[in-house]
């Protein structure tokens, strides 16, 4: 077909196919040629115009091209000249630098020679300051210059033939020995002027360590001399060794504080630490002497052995059950432990006071050293008010202390001795307080106990006074580990001995047991009044002890400071540890006592109050009727009598309630009485509720109003004044009697937050009857 494309040349199989493909290619070639000719003829004129413009532009660029070539040649010539000039300038600078180096080298060599000559001349006239200055100037010269060949040739003279390095070394060693001798001579003569004079010369000759060491030894001689003077002038007194230790630390603190500026001025900041290291070694020696003498002179080891072997017979026997044959009379008749133990508690108190004084001064000394040591560290700020350097970070124990002998001796001997004495003293005080325990007078008591004078036995006041003194003395030591150990011991004594003794008395001596079976008239005879009063006083002891301990701990916590540098415990987290231990002591004692108080209040309620509640309510509601009829006009005498007796239930209850509770109220603390009232109100509410439920068919509309008034009067009397919160205990019975006075529409009206269930409200509505029965 004519429209079919010609066959591909590579696909041709016959001659005709080849001819067809060739004819197609020729036709296509003629077509392309004609198109290109047409295109060339259409673009010839514009292309010719553009070529002409290009020729014109090329002609106009000839002049700039020639100018550019001239400028390039000129710049090339200038660059060559500048390169030659720059090379000569660099060479000149190099030569000038070498000349300057040579001049500086020669100048320094002359300086070296001048120093060596100056050393020789100053030595002749014994001008040690000039000698030190010349040595100091020479020491600042480069070492390679001093040992260089040029200096070895130019510096030696006839008077000083040695090489410069050898001459300086000889002079330094010679004058080091000379200054040491002169300083020691001045120290022996106590010539302060010459001491200062030679002390400031050591750093000039490069012997800072020797100067600091000899200065530290001089300071140590002063400390040792003053300490020996104090120990040799021994005066019998309860705080002699504590004052001796305090005097030692005060002398060290004064010396370090006053001499730090001198050392820092001549030797630089931080150099005082080396002096403090040597001073601490002397403090170890002198402090160790004081501690050892204290232990020997006071027979501390023997006394501690006696304290550990003390048996606390009174406490131990008091905790023994009466079934073992030890009666209360035998307990009271047994001799006081102090009579056969050979331990004088006052002596223990005196020794503990002195021991605590020593530990407290040691802690204060450690704090002082820490502040001074930290002030030598680079991380400092300037105090604008006092113009002194203070550490910017929390205090840390300086490294010179943990390895010191006095530090170890304080931790291994003095602190454990104080702990043992404090523990014994407090426990023995608890024992003695109960041996001498006396109840308060219960004659002519006011209706309400005075808030500031709770009725407690004398033992609580005695124990709390000793506790406050021991805690204050212990915390004042500033020794974290010691404080926490003593707090642990005090905690055990309080919870086991103090609380245990009161618990044992409550169980064995004052438990208000009912005396016998119910009498013929149906009334249970009350427990003996002396037993009840004794039990109430012991409850007061527990409650007041908790309050006292809380106040004591709060005061002691405040005395510990704010945890920073001003704190009694400024190191690390020691402050937080002690505060936590103090608060744990109070909270642990409170939780231990709270459980016992709960049990004790239950005992009073069950044995004293509960047996009289039912008769009290029976007497109050005696002859009370709630099937009443209102007057219809005239005044019926019977109605008038009913109005006069309208408050009779409340008055009877108030009389019986006051007779029951006022004797208890006069003795119990407000907290304990609140506990007892809470338990009693719950039981009273339950009994009132049972009585109302039992009035089925005995209450009419007017009687319901009177019953609600009587119950409200009872609730009001129980919860009057500060006991208003007890009304919550009577919500059920109050709603119960209220339901009796409501009709069906009022009952379903809503708007009341009921505690009674719907079934109970329906049941309560059936109690009331309409009309007289």
Helix (H) or strand (E) holding 590: helix 574-604
Record the tokens describing residue 241, joined without a space. Answer: 């060794």
Burial class of 247 by CB neighbour count within 10 A (0 to 12, 13 to 18, 19+): middle
* CA–CA distances in Å: residue 241 to residues 106, 215, 237, 472: 67, 28, 9, 21
User: pTM higher than 0.85 for the full model?
Assistant: no
Share of the chain above pLDDT 90, in %: 41
Record the tokens describing residue 632, joined without a space. Answer: 């219809």
Q: Provide the pLDDT for residue 542.
A: 95
CB-CB contact of 475 with 568 (8 Å): yes
What is the CA 659 to chain-centroid distance, rounded? 52
> Per this entry, what is the length of the chain?
773
Please, what is the angle between helix 164-189 and helix 62-124, to 10°?
50
Q: Provide the pLDDT for residue 333.
A: 40
**What CA–CA distance (Å, rounded) separates 733 from 713?**
13
pLDDT (average), residues 565-573: 81
Q: Provide the pLDDT for residue 392.
A: 45
The SS3 of residue 443 is: coil
pLDDT tens digits, residue range 327-359?
A: 444 344 444 444 445 688 999 999 999 999 999
Q: Provide the pLDDT for residue 341.
A: 55
**What CA–CA distance (Å, rounded) separates 664 from 662?**
5
| DSSP 8-state assignment for residue 13 | -
pLDDT at 282 over 90: yes
The SS3 of residue 768 is: strand
Q: Provide the pLDDT for residue 72.
A: 85
CB-CB contact of 183 with 195 (8 Å): yes
Q: Which of 224, 348, 344, 215 lies closest to 283 in space, CA to CA?
A: 224
Between 305-314, 425-434, 487-496, 561-570, the lowest mean confidence (pLDDT) is in: 561-570
**Ordered DSSP codes for 560-574:** T-SSSTTSSS-BTTH
pLDDT (average), residues 84-107: 83
Q: Which of 307, 186, 412 lies closest to 200 in space, CA to CA?
A: 186
Q: Provide the pLDDT for residue 384.
A: 40
Record the tokens describing residue 205, joined without a space. Answer: 């000759």
Q: Provide the pLDDT for residue 645.
A: 55
Mean pLDDT score of the chain, rounded to an integer?
84
């Amino acid at each position: 077909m004519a429209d079919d494309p010609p066959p591909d040349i590579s696909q041709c199989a016959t001659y005709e196919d080849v001819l067809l493909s060739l004819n197609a290619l020729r036709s296509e070639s003629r077509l392309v040629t004609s198109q290109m000719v047409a295109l060339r003829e259409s673009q010839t004129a514009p292309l010719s115009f553009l070529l002409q413009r290009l020729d014109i532009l090329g002609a106009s660029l000839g002049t700039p091209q020639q100018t550019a070539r001239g400028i390039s040649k000129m710049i090339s010539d200038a660059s060559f000249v500048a390169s030659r000039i720059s090379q000569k300038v660099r060479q000149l600078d190099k030569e000038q630098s070498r000349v300057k180096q040579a001049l500086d080298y020669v100048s320094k060599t002359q300086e070296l020679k001048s120093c060596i000559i100056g050393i020789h001349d100053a030595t002749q006239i014994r001008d040690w300051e000039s000698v030190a200055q010349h040595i100091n100037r020479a020491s600042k010269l480069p070492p390679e210059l001093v040992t260089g060949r040029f200096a070895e040739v130019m510096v030696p003279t006839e008077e000083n033939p040695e090489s410069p390095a050898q001459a300086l070394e000889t002079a330094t060693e010679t004058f080091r020995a000379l200054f040491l001798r002169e300083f020691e001579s001045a120290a022996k003569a106590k010539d302060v002027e010459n001491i200062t004079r030679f002390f400031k010369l050591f750093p000039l000759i490069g012997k800072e360590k020797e100067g600091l060491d000899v200065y530290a030894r001089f300071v140590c001689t002063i400390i040792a001399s003053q300490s020996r003077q104090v120990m040799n002038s021994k005066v019998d007194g309860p705080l002699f060794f504590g004052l001796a230790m305090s005097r030692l630390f005060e002398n060290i603190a004064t010396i370090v504080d006053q001499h730090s500026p001198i050392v820092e001025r001549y030797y630089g900041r931080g150099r005082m630490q080396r002096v403090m290291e040597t001073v601490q070694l002397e403090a170890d020696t002198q402090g160790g002497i004081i501690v050892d003498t204290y232990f020997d002179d006071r027979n501390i080891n023997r006394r501690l052995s006696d304290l550990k072997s003390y048996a606390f017979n009174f406490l131990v026997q008091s905790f023994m059950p009466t079934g073992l044959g030890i009666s209360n009379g035998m307990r009271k008749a047994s001799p006081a432990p102090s009579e056969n133990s050979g331990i004088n508690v006052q002596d223990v108190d005196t020794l503990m006071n002195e021991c605590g004084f020593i530990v407290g001064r040691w802690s204060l000394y450690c704090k002082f050293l820490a502040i001074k040591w930290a002030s030598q560290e680079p991380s400092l700020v300037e105090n604008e008010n006092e113009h002194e350097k203070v550490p910017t970070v929390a205090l840390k124990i300086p490294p010179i202390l943990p390895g010191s002998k006095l530090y170890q001796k304080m931790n291994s001997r003095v602190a454990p001795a104080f702990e043992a004495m404090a523990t014994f003293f407090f426990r023995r005080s608890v024992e003695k307080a109960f041996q001498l325990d006396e109840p308060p007078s219960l004659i002519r008591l006011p209706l309400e106990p005075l808030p500031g004078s709770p009725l407690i036995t004398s033992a609580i006041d005695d124990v709390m006074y000793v506790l406050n003194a021991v805690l204050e003395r212990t915390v004042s030591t500033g020794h974290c580990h010691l404080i926490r150990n003593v707090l642990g011991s005090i905690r055990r004594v309080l919870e086991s001995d103090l609380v245990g003794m009161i618990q044992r008395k409550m169980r064995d001596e004052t438990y208000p047991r009912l005396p016998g079976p119910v009498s013929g008239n149906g009334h249970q005879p009350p427990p003996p009044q002396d037993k009840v009063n004794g039990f109430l006083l012991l409850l007061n002891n527990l409650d007041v002890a908790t309050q006292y301990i809380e106040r004591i701990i709060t005061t002691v916590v405040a005395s510990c400071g704010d945890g920073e540098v001003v704190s009694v415990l400024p190191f690390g987290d020691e402050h937080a540890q002690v505060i936590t231990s103090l608060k744990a002591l109070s909270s642990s004692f409170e939780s231990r006592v709270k459980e016992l108080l709960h049990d004790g209040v239950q005992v009073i309620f069950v044995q004293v109050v509960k047996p009289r509640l039912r008769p009290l309510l029976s007497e109050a509601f005696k002859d009370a009727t709630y099937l009443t009829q209102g007057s219809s006009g005239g005044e019926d005498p019977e109605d008038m009598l009913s109005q006069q007796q309208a408050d009779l239930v409340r008055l009877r209850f108030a009389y019986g309630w006051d007779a029951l509770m006022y004797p208890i109220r006069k003795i119990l603390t407000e907290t304990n009485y609140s506990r007892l009232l809470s338990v009693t109100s719950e039981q009273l509410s339950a009994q009132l509720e049972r009585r109302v439920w039992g009035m089925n068919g005995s209450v009419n509309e007017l009687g319901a109003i009177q019953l609600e008034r009587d119950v409200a009067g009872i609730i009001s009397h129980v919860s009057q004044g500060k006991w208003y919160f007890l009304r919550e205990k009577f919500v059920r019975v109050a709603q119960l009697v209220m339901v009796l006075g409501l009709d069906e529409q009022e009952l379903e009206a809503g708007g009341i937050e009921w505690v009674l269930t719907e079934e109970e409200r329906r049941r309560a509505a059936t109690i009331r009857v309409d009309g007289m029965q």
